[in-house]
Structure 1
């Protein structure tokens, strides 16, 4: 997730020269093609096998429904606070609504940070004898979070050039790997589907909902609203184009994986499926290339998530819904927020496993996107939104949320307990801060203004 480099660089550009469509698409793709595909691939294949590419397309369509509400609200409000700001401004009379979405979205980002770091660690140690040691993986994940925390605290501008390089290099590497794998395919898609037999459409929808987190990141374009010309034209173009490109990239990677790598191997090594498969097909250079691609993808995603989400955390704290110290900035860098996010992501890595972190992330982004769709429905006349598309996005996101929870309930009730406990704690925290804000507002009636 990489909008920060442009964000900083644009301040040095001449007026009128701002972010164009290619940069905005890169912002969204930098956010989406992060650890998501590497993480989602193994889990999808273990659940639906040869239907993985189809599931990825359905996940992308759900993401496009979610994007509709974000785009309509983004063009209407033109507020770089994105998710949190839209909800707060659409429901101005409810401090609890603002607080709740603030807490949920920030912890959603913390879970994706944990997910990317966990995936980074899995690939980083995949070539060593201790590749399957869970604690080594967790410590390496903590280490990479620490590295990007230090980088984000020390310098923003220095990351800019490196970030662009990481995003474009990872896309090239992913393309090369996918085409080479497809070239070395051991079978064909029709043969795989014939072996697979019929699949329950409900299962396809459930897995599509679980993979939703791989598309999380398109809303970062909205954070750059102050750096672009004609947001009403550029926001929709950039976001829809980026989602279409992400679907294409993911489908090609998934095809390469399922055609060239035996399923049991993808499932067995689901944390680093592509690397183990490439080794058999392409030898050690193939593995090294995959590992490099995965490390670049997860690194750029970790860096951008730390950057973007820490700033959103500081805004929520500034509004009084998080502890006040999180709003502090040193040279415009929200150091306490960055450090707190990193620490919480590491705690989540210590407490959960890859699957539970992935599912918490997907549930959170489905829920938050559903709330965005509801907010858009509420002011649909002002955002000039199509009633059909607005209702369709609410229905699609609600279905995804219900299905993922149903899956947890039937398959992994203990994971569901973990996820629901986390939500209960977040909601209590959000409620207590909203209550405090309400009390402060009552005690200060003489203060008027925004």
Structure 2
């Protein structure tokens, strides 16, 4: 008989887990590449990404309330569209978010000890995997602390940059193309995808039919407000060209605003933010791996639940090992586009699943589905080609796994 996970998370913890992923990934990893694509169109791109994310959030919330089990869109696609679409969503999520985990681990290393970024990244993965192994309540508690620190640092950057009114005219100048705005929106979508963690933890949320639909929009709204405030201030101080060229835009914005004392604070905040993202990302990937293992698409060993801590401990250890290996060799910026492609495929399937729920859900589901497709194929060509190639590998694995009997579901 399948063991169930412990339901211990309320609305506040679910919101914090979502924020822990979104805020760290977005502000410290995606703003620079997005500015390189959109230039002065960074703010419109943020708006486009937010609209698509909102559609996806509502689709995920309604589906998660109906199917409160670990696995997120893997479960929704399986139940609403069929096993193939569920598998494709799960594969896209696991692969895309593994790249995200590596990117966040490398961000920790780049800020904490640039000369040994890969070694620090591997150490961060090992440490947070052990935290997750100890139980979901400990993960939620640590995420609360991380989110509080990151929001305080971002508030300090906004306050220090707020007086740069003359620079704002330069930030809003220049040319922006529609293609560049769409590509930037696709890259910025990487920053909004954290609310998926709430849905993939559906089996560990108390009263999921009420908690998940409340937590997802709250987390998304808070993240959007934070992103908009920081993006406006950083653009005002640096301008789109300098922002695109910056490897540490918030630290550079503090220097440009004559707040050099804030630079070490931002450096610590960036490392802490990336740790928060990494913590919740490992949670989400391991829960999707658990769900796929329960259905026979991944090794049965990954379906084990620890008898005391009630977490999918084998899946967490396996995910941690793979992420550590990728973090030892990967490139941060290259991982963002690849991750965005996989996650946009995942949410396209979520919107298609929500469309089947009824006429009330269909307008947002259609907008979300079209938006995901547009942003996915507007990404840099290398990211699209790599994403399509990895999805093809997943389809081959699906064809092989179809000959195996699926284990019974709960």
Q: TM-score with structure 2 length normalisation?
A: 0.88
2:339 aligned residue: 361
1:238-260, Cα deviation, whole Å (9 max, x unpaired): 32232222111011111222222
**8 Å CA contact retained: 1:266, 1:274:** no
1:206 aligned residue: 183
Question: Which of 32, 40, 49 lines up with 2:39 in the alignment?
Answer: 49
Is residue 290 from structure 1 mapped to residue 270 from structure 2 by the alignment? no
Is residue 267 from structure 1 mapped to residue 244 from structure 2 by the alignment? yes
Is residue 109 from structure 1 mapped to residue 97 from structure 2 by the alignment? yes
1:327-362, Cα deviation, whole Å (9 max, x unpaired): 233333333322221222233335542222101111
**8 Å CA contact retained: 1:104, 1:368:** yes
Unaligned runs of 5+ residues in structure 2 are none
1:16-95 correspondence to structure 2 within 5 Å: 19-20=10-11, 22-92=12-82, 94=83
Is residue 161 from structure 1 mapped to residue 141 from structure 2 by the alignment? yes
- Cα distance in structure 2, aligned partners of 1:230 and 1:155: 19
**8 Å CA contact retained: 2:15, 2:215:** yes
Question: Which of 386, 393, 398 lines up with 1:430 in the alignment?
Answer: 398
1:336 aligned residue: 314
2:166 aligned residue: 187
- Cα distance in structure 1, aligned partners of 2:153 and 2:255: 15
Question: Which of 226, 229, 237 lines up with 1:249 in the alignment?
Answer: 226
Question: Which of 390, 398, 408 lines up with 2:365 in the alignment?
Answer: 390
Deviation of 1:97 (Å): 3.1
1:96-139, Cα deviation, whole Å (9 max, x unpaired): 3333322221122212111211221222135xxx4xxxxx3223
Question: Which of 381, 389, 392 lines up with 1:421 in the alignment?
Answer: 389
Q: Kindly tell me: are residues 179 and 166 of structure 1, through their superposed partners in 2, closer, same or farther at Cα, counting changes over 3 Å?
A: same
- Cα distance in structure 1, aligned partners of 2:177 and 2:311: 49
- Cα distance in structure 2, aligned partners of 1:111 and 1:169: 25
What's the RMSD between the two structures over aligned residues?
Answer: 2.7
Is residue 137 from structure 1 mapped to residue 117 from structure 2 by the alignment? yes
Local SS of the residue matching 2:298: coil
**8 Å CA contact retained: 1:146, 1:342:** yes
Q: Kindly tell me: are residues 420 and 82 of structure 1, through their superposed partners in 2, closer, same or farther at Cα, counting changes over 3 Å?
A: closer
Q: Considering only CA atoms, is the larger Rg found in Structure 1 or Structure 2?
A: 1
**8 Å CA contact retained: 2:68, 2:208:** no
Is residue 370 from structure 1 mapped to residue 354 from structure 2 by the alignment? no
Q: Kindly tell me: are residues 387 and 424 of structure 1, through their superposed partners in 2, closer, same or farther at Cα, counting changes over 3 Å?
A: closer
Q: Kindly tell me: are residues 245 and 105 of structure 1, through their superposed partners in 2, closer, same or farther at Cα, counting changes over 3 Å?
A: same
Deviation of 1:322 (Å): 0.4
Question: Which of 149, 152, 160 lines up with 2:132 in the alignment?
Answer: 152
Q: Kindly tell me: are residues 230 and 91 of structure 1, through their superposed partners in 2, closer, same or farther at Cα, counting changes over 3 Å?
A: closer
**8 Å CA contact retained: 1:265, 1:277:** no
Is residue 318 from structure 1 mapped to residue 294 from structure 2 by the alignment? yes
**8 Å CA contact retained: 2:91, 2:394:** yes
